[in-house]
Amino acid sequence: SQQGEEDPQALSIQEGENATMNCSYKTSINNLQWYRQNSGRGLVHLILIRSNEREKHSGRLRVTLDTSKKSSSLLITASRAADTASYFCATDGYNNNDMRFGAGTRLTVKP
Amino acid sequence: KAGVTQTPRYLIKTRGQQVTLSCSPISGHRSVSWYQQTPGQGLQFLFEYFSETQRNKGNFPGRFSGRQFSNSRSEMNVSTLELGDSALYLCASSTDYDRVFFGPGTRLTVL
């Protein structure tokens, strides 16, 4: 069963704008990871944030985690057409490698 | 380091047949997990192997099985294929409680 839900389900923006995607989950976690998936391909790891962290940055990506609200957000700044993809959050189960995924946010960046 | 590799990339089978998919994890990663991705159910956890032992199992029927070899390479097998088994099968590897990296997937089509 899926653990989390991403919001919105789809997002369409212009190149150069920022994109914010949210993820909510149901149970306590150790880690939360964000992934990108281009159509029909494998998942590309973006960021891992641990339950004792509140914010992490990687290049144009900023991830926040609020464990009290069981939610996380992924911000992509200065978006590019190449950022067009589906974005998923995944939370760990009993151990890190039994992950639960949400349905994903489909991001379209228009040139 | 080379990433997670999966073979074959594409496979077409008919109902009732069986199939074996192969995954080579990133060097040094002892945990290998498998996921099924379909448009209807999204990404679902199948099972995880660590040091040749199945450590976790998702909610899939016994037709889905796997194993891990001493070099951490893993295979998953699906017997008596059904139309609903058509999916992208993703393999992932990690060290414990750290980033989980995915392979490109095997696209299985059951006719």
pLDDT of residue B105: 96
Cβ atoms of B33 and B25 closer than 8 Å? no
Which pLDDT tens digit goes with each residue over B18-31? Answer: 999 999 999 999 99
Position A18 pLDDT exceeds 70: yes
Place of tokens 């290998």: B32
pLDDT of residue A93: 65
For B84, phi and psi rounded to 5 degrees? Answer: -70, -5
Pairing of strands A105-110, A10-14: parallel
- Give CA angle at A5 (B46, A49), nearest 5°: 80
Position A109 pLDDT exceeds 90: yes
Position B71 pLDDT exceeds 70: yes
Position A98 pLDDT exceeds 90: no
Position A33 pLDDT exceeds 90: yes
Mean pLDDT taken over chain A: 90
pLDDT of residue A7: 82
pLDDT of residue B45: 93
| Chain A residues in contact with B105 (beta carbon < 8 A) | 40-42
pLDDT of residue A1: 44
Largest Cα–Cα distance in chain B? 38
pLDDT of residue A95: 59
For B6, phi and psi rounded to 5 degrees? Answer: -130, 140
Cis-peptide, bond into residue B8, ω within 30° of zero? yes
Position A42 pLDDT exceeds 80: yes
Beta strands in B1-111 (DSSP E): 5-7, 10-13, 19-24, 31-38, 42-50, 53-57, 64-68, 74-78, 87-94, 101-102, 106-110
pLDDT of residue B36: 97
CB neighbour list of residue B40: distance below 8 Å, 6 or more residues apart: none
| Residue in B31, B43, B97 nearest the CB of A88 | B43
Say if residue B70 is exposed, middle or buried (CB neighbours under 10 Å; 0-12, 13-18, 19+): exposed
Percent of chain A with pLDDT over 90: 72
Interface of A with B in 40-99 (CB under 8 A): 40-45, 48, 88, 90, 92-99
